[in-house]
Structure 1
Amino acid sequence: MTAAPSLRVERSLLRGGAARLAAADEVGRGALCGPVTIGMVVVSATTRTAPQGVRDSKLLTPEARERLAPRVMRWADAWAVGHAMPDEIDALGLTAALRLAGHRALAGLGPVDRVLLDGNHDYLTPPAQEALFGAPESDAALGAAGVVVPPVTTRIKADLTCAAVAAASILAKTARDAIMTELHEEFPDYLWAENKGYSAPAHIDALARLGVTVHHRRSWSLPGLAPAIESAV
């Protein structure tokens, strides 16, 4: 069994001068439909050990995630979840949409001094050309402009080793799963309550039979579709 994540890395960053550290993780990057979602939790020097059972959300059953999510919310100094929807992914591209979702999460936290981000790519910090020439109009219109992004530390597999990042992954996963389960009621043939918008066989079969919906990422090469298919859904 994988060792439980700890706050060792988070406490090191806090000792390095961050009074309030936001830990972040994303879900939905590889889905065919639905949002990309960023979860964030804030920890400080007084934050206690994470609730027992906190792990990377991918290692937990849905029942365990649902049980842990409210405990994480009570444990964290602050928490927030941000989404970027399929039309925003299509308009901006995936990386900029991740940034937008992250900015929306940051906006719900209050001031933080640093972000610990799962992975090896800082998608939160606006590119240098935006700092020089201003954010693209599409980003500004969608609410990404005006968010102050503190220094970002990236860490590969932080969701496996850092308890606050694992906690953020649980909040992101439960929030996005709830959206996909609700959308399933609108389009039950795609079985989103089960596959959460990823490329499961039933989802691909429904795409082939019924075409895309308003919730699909239409700029993507979606499996099961003929190249020139037009949706009536």
Structure 2
Amino acid sequence: MGGRVVGVDEAGRGPLAGPVVAAAVWIDRARCPEGLDDSKALCAARREVLHDKLHGVAVIGVGMASVEEIDRLNILWATMLAMERAVAALACGFDHVLVDGNRLPRWHHPATAVVGGDALCVSIAAASIIAKVTRDRLMEALDAEHPGYGWARNKGYGTADHARGLAEHGPTIHHRRSFAPVRAMLPGL
């Protein structure tokens, strides 16, 4: 595969709250920071360092799909929408897109789905870091606005402290109403 290849990955498909975030990254392999890996294989501090380094050496596009879009489209198609937005946000041309996973968005770009791509491809690993850190920072900010759910710690995933927060305070506007644990908390259902 020749030319300029962009990697795409997402963060936040499984949480009960917050948007799904995707990143598209093109990086010159000669300027690639050491230690790039699947974001899940890195500690939070290392992800933060690499995130900041990538912003100095890579071309990055970030896209999100809102909670409303997740509830309307479902999480799969909202993820695809976030990926489309991330690629559209790139400030460079490209020849091919590598997407982590086994599905591709419905777009016109030459693309390949790569299962486990965040551990196999530098540009997808970079995208996984950008998407994860971007979403984590967003959930930490939302935690300050909506204390009681533990989002700074759990990033919106369905942990015990998040479940306690839902039971005590009910869903916020940032909760995904189409997800069963949240839907069960809604009156009239």
**TM-score, normalized by length of structure 2?**
0.92
* Identity between Structure 1 and Structure 2 (%): 40
Q: Which residue of 2 aligns with 1:144?
A: none
**Runs of 5+ consecutive residues of structure 1 not aligned to the other structure:** 1-12, 127-148
Rounded to whole Å, the distance in 1 between the matches of 2:38 and 2:31 is 16
| Equivalent residue pairs, number | 187
Cα displacement (A) at 1:22: 1.1
**1:108 partnered with 2:89:** yes
Q: Which residue of 1 aligns with 2:187?
A: 229
Rounded to whole Å, the distance in 2 between the matches of 1:121 and 1:105 is 16
Alignment of 1:52-63 (within 5 A): 52-63=34-45
Q: Which residue of 2 aligns with 1:182?
A: 141
Over 3 Å counting, the alpha-carbon distance change for 1:203 and 1:224 in structure 2 is farther
What's the secondary structure of 2:34's corresponding residue?
A: coil
Q: Which residue of 1 aligns with 2:77?
A: 96
**1:70 partnered with 2:52:** yes
What's the secondary structure of 1:154's corresponding residue?
A: strand
**8 Å CA contact 1:208, 1:225 repeated in 2:** no
Instruction: Report runs of 4+ in structure 1 exceeding 6 Å deviation.
Output: none
Q: C-alpha offsets along residues 130-184 of structure 1, whole Å, 9 cap, x if unaligned? A: xxxxxxxxxxxxxxxxxxx411101111111111111111100110001100000
Which amino acid is the alignment partner of residue 84 of structure 1? A
Over 3 Å counting, the alpha-carbon distance change for 1:213 and 1:223 in structure 2 is closer
**Runs of 5+ consecutive residues of structure 2 not aligned to the other structure:** none
Q: Which residue of 1 aligns with 2:23?
A: 39
Q: C-alpha offsets along residues 66-95 of structure 1, whole Å, 9 cap, x if unaligned? A: 11112112222x111111110111112212
Cα displacement (A) at 1:50: 2.4
Q: Which residue of 2 aligns with 1:23?
A: 7
Q: Which residue of 1 aligns with 2:171?
A: 212
Q: Who wins on radius of gyration, i.e. which is larger?
A: 1
Rounded to whole Å, the distance in 2 between the matches of 1:174 and 1:31 is 15
What's the secondary structure of 2:29's corresponding residue?
A: coil
Q: RMSD value over aligned CA atoms?
A: 1.7
**8 Å CA contact 1:184, 1:193 repeated in 2:** yes
Which amino acid is the alignment partner of residue 75 of structure 2? L
Q: Which residue of 2 aligns with 1:48?
A: 30
**TM-score, normalized by length of structure 1?**
0.75
Alignment of 1:162-201 (within 5 A): 162-201=121-160
